[in-house]
């Protein structure tokens, strides 16, 4: 058993981490472990987790498991969890309750917990105390070891917990079963060194480790050869890419090299305003296949709160960067993340956030009420704003955000824009769906032959969160 340890996870910034790149291998004797059995992975949280699930699925298929279409029929169920806010956490514990009933009815099934919650010491302690019927718990640093962890649990007939707190390796060549045939996630780095005071990610995902550029470029080249149209470069803080590599190679260099592979669309998430360089802006403007879409988390519009959050920028420097981006990329869409109700946030501070939203007129924003996370500095700060007040602020903010989202979309009416058609629309089976270069969701009238292609679409109607359009015949 290897339990996560919060003290160790907190300590790790001071320790040098030797990153070693190794290759993924499944031992011959484990390749048939899942023969005749099915799996189901339920994913919570961010794109990083979604992509981890794509790896987990491929590893399970390497062991001869096949994917079940519904959870209720699977022999192995994994919950790939998210720890970012308390409600994600509660949802998972709710699901664990459901799993318990399923396991009582079908004792032969196996249940596993992985992802960010598995990296939390308090969560693993609770699992061991109250839910020791769970079969496996593994972390975000050792997904590649899933075959051995499963084997251990089967052999021992008891819970197997393998959650290292300190990362040290980047494992290349982990197989991947991609959800889409047209767009792909590509990890460029793991972990985060920013330690924003509210955020649990530096503890659950560990120290920043960038992948070597040659592995990333190779992966994108392979995707191009396989007919992929779009890659999204993934990391908690992609703009800091390369800082840990000592190669004199940074995010601007990487963006340029990825653009040069000829892939039709390059996206990247998530940017931290602190590391956004002029060189990056220049490269984004120079290459038409780097999409004019930037997610630029604000978190708060008050410099005082930003300081308490440890964000390392002020309202003024954020706005300066914002205007620089809009000047260099006038057509771009910019979205953001905002937290309300951070400890000590006053009405004045909140008004400053609204003020920035009015200035930036974001294309859209993800908004959250501050959620205290165990082990983070902000969870120990005095917080005397009543929850009803925080909810009111969230509502007021959302109203403003929606207004600007609709305004940004209104500008698209009757315009012709490029859309990567991804498949059938969820809203209407007679329509197709896809995203514009600026990341707007469009439901489109047109022939299914266009699936997988980037086509010109005329926008015929706009709503707050989506648009309608029709494919222009050539
Ligand atoms: N409480 C509320 N929101 C949070 N986020 C991260 N940590 C917390 C927290 N403790 C939000 C931030 C981040 C997004 C992914 O989630 O806005 O950008
Ligand atoms: Fe969390 Fe801040 Fe790192 Fe983003 S940049 S993952 S908010 S610590």
CATH topology for 170-410?
pyruvate-formate lyase- activating enzyme (3.80.30)
What's the average model confidence in pLDDT over 191-218?
93
Backbone dihedral region for residue 341 (phi beyond 0: left; psi -120 to 50: alpha; all else: beta): left
Q: Does 3.30.70.1140 match the CATH number of domain 6-162?
A: no
Closest CA to 5 of 194, 146, 163: 163
At 24 the pLDDT is 84
User: The tokens of 59 are what?
Assistant: 């590893």
Q: Judge whether residue 215 has pLDDT over 80.
A: yes
pLDDT digits over 352-364, tens only?
999 999 999 999 9
Before 68, cis peptide (omega within 30)? no
User: Band of the pLDDT at 372, cuts 50, 70, 90?
Assistant: very high
The pLDDT of 35-52, averaged and rounded, is: 96
33 falls in which pLDDT band (50, 70, 90)?
very high
Whole-number pLDDT of residue 170: 85
Across 4-13, 74-83, 317-326, 369-378, least confident range: 4-13
If you measure from the C-alpha of residue 197 to the centroid of ligand 2, how many angstroms do you get, rounded to a whole number? 9
pLDDT in tens, 97-148: 999 999 999 999 999 999 999 999 999 999 999 999 999 999 998 999 999 9
Which pLDDT does position 25 carry in this prediction?
85
Find the ligand nearest to 371 CA. Answer: 1
pLDDT tens figures, 295-339: 999 999 999 999 999 999 999 999 999 999 999 999 999 999 999
How many angstroms separate the CA atoms of 407 and 16, rounded? 48
For 237-253, the pLDDT digits (tens) are 999 999 988 889 999 99
CATH number of 416-471: 2.40.50.140, 3.40.50.2300, 1.25.40.10, 3.10.100.10?
2.40.50.140
> What are the residue boundaries of the structural domains of the chain, listed by start?
6-162, 170-410, 416-471
The pick from 48, 308, 337 for probing ligand 1's pocket by mutation, whose C-beta has the most ligand atoms within 8 angstroms, reads 337
Residue 16, pLDDT score: 56
Distance CA 95, CA 91 (A): 6
What the block records as the tokens of 398 is 């959302």
> For residues 467 and 90, what is the distance between their CA atoms, to the nearest angstrom?
33
State in Å: Cα 9 to ligand 1 middle.
19
Which protein residues are within 6 Å of ligand 1, measured from CB? 84-85, 198-199, 297, 299, 337, 339, 368, 370-371, 373
- DSSP-based three-state secondary structure for 246: coil
Would you place residue 17 in the very low, low, confident or very high pLDDT band (cuts 50, 70, 90)?
A: low
State the chain's mean pLDDT as an integer. 94
Question: In which element (H, E) is residue 213 found?
Answer: helix 213-225
Pocket residue to mutate for ligand 1, from 339, 340, 341, 397, most atoms within 8 A of Cβ? 339
Q: What is the DSSP letter of 73?
A: G
For ligand 1, atom 16, name the residue with the nearest CA.
84
Per-residue CA distances from 436 to 46, 121, 230, 272 (Å): 21, 42, 12, 23
115: left (phi over 0), alpha (psi -120 to 50) or beta: left
pLDDT band for position 201 (50/70/90)? very high
Tokens of 244: 């840990």
Atom number of ligand 1 nearest to Cα 369: 2
At 12 the pLDDT is: 62
- Res 237: pLDDT: 93
Q: Looking at mean pLDDT, say which of 21-30, 142-151, 219-228 comes out highest.
A: 219-228
Which CA distances in Å does 377 have to 47, 145, 200, 382?
A: 25, 32, 10, 11
Residues in the chain: 474
pLDDT score recorded for residue 23: 77
pLDDT at 21: 74
Residue 217, pLDDT score: 98
Instruction: Pick the atom of ligand 2 nearest to 236's CA.
Output: 6
So what's the pLDDT on residue 18? 61
Question: 297 alpha carbon to ligand 1 midpoint, in Å?
Answer: 10
Distance 342 CA to ligand 1 centre (A): 10
Count of H helices and E strands in the chain? 13, 21
Q: How confident is the model at residue 4 (pLDDT cuts 50, 70, 90)?
A: confident
Provide mean pLDDT across the span 53-71. 97
How confident is the model over 176-196, as a mean pLDDT? 95
SS (H, E, C) 270-303: CCCHHHCCHHHHHHHHHCCCECCEEECCCECCCH
Check whether 73 has a pLDDT greater than 60.
Answer: yes
The best mutation among 12, 202, 234, 251 to test binding of ligand 2, ranked by most ligand atoms within 8 Å of the C-beta, falls on 202
pLDDT of residue 377: 97
Query: Which residue from 102, 182, 209 is spatially nearest to 423, judged by alpha carbons?
Result: 182
Cβ atoms 238, 188 nearer than 8 A: yes
Residue nearest to ligand 1 atom 14, measured at CA: 337
pLDDT attached to residue 6: 80
For the Cβ of 141 lying below 6 angstroms from any atom of ligand 2, the answer is: no
Q: What is the pLDDT of residue 402?
A: 98
pLDDT tens-digit readout, 146-167: 999 999 999 988 899 999 887 6
Alpha-carbon distance 62 to 150, whole Å? Answer: 13
Instruction: Give the distance (Å) from ligand 1 centre to CA of residue 117.
Output: 15
DSSP label of 2: B
- Provide the b/e sequence for 188-211 (b: ≥16 CB within 10 Å): bbbbbbbebbbbbbbbbbbbbbbb
Q: Which ligand 2 atom is the nearest neighbour of the CA of 192? A: 3
Q: Which ligand is nearest to the CA of 237?
A: 2
């Amino acid at each position: 058993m290897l339990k996560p340890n919060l003290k160790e996870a907190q300590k790790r910034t001071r320790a040098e981490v030797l990153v070693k790149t190794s290759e993924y291998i499944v031992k011959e004797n484990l390749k048939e472990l899942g023969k005749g059995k099915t799996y189901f992975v339920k994913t919570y949280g961010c794109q990083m987790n979604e992509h981890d699930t794509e790896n987990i699925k491929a590893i399970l298929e390497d062991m001869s498991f096949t994917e079940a279409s519904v959870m209720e029929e699977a022999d192995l169920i994994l919950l790939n969890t998210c720890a970012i806010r308390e409600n994600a956490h509660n949802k998972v514990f709710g699901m664990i309750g459901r799993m318990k009933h399923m396991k009582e009815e079908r004792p032969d099934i196996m249940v596993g917990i992985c992802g960010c919650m598995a990296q939390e010491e308090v969560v693993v302690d609770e699992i061991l105390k109250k839910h020791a019927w769970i079969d496996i718990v593994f972390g975000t640093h050792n997904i590649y070891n899933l075959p051995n962890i499963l084997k251990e649990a089967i052999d021992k007939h008891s819970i197997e917990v393998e959650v290292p707190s300190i990362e040290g390796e980047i494992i290349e060549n982990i197989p991947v079963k991609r959800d889409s045939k047209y767009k792909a996630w590509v990890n460029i780095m793991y972990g985060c060194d920013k330690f924003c005071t509210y955020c649990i990610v530096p503890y659950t995902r560990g120290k920043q480790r960038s992948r070597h550029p040659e592995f990333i470029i190779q992966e994108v080249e392979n995707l191009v050869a396989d007919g992929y149209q779009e890659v999204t470069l993934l990391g908690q803080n992609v703009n800091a890419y390369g800082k840990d590599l000592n190669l004199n190679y940074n995010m601007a260099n990487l963006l340029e090299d990825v653009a040069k592979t000829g892939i039709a669309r390059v996206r990247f998430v998530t940017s931290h305003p602190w590391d956004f360089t002029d060189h990056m802006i220049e490269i984004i403007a120079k290459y038409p296949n780097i999409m004019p879409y930037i997610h630029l988390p604000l978190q708060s519009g008050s410099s005082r709160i930003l300081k308490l959050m440890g964000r390392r920028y002020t309202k003024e420097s954020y706005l300066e960067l914002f205007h620089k981006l809009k000047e260099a990329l006038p057509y771009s869409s910019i979205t953001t993340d905002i937290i309300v109700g951070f400890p000590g946030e006053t009405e004045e501070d909140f008004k400053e956030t609204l003020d920035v939203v009015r200035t930036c007129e974001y294309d859209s924003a993800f908004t959250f009420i501050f959620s205290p996370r165990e082990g983070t500095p902000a969870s120990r700060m005095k917080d005397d704003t009543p929850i009803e007040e925080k909810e009111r602020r969230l509502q007021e903010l959302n109203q403003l955000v929606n207004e600007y989202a609709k305004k940004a979309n209104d500008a698209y009416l009757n315009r012709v824009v490029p859309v990567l058609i991804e498949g059938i629309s969820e809203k209407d089976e007679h329509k197709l769906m896809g995203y514009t270069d600026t990341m707007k969701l469009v439901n489109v009238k047109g022939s299914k032959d266009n699936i997988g292609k980037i086509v010109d679409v005329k926008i015929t109607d706009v709503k707050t969160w989506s648009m309608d359009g029709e494919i222009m015949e050539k």
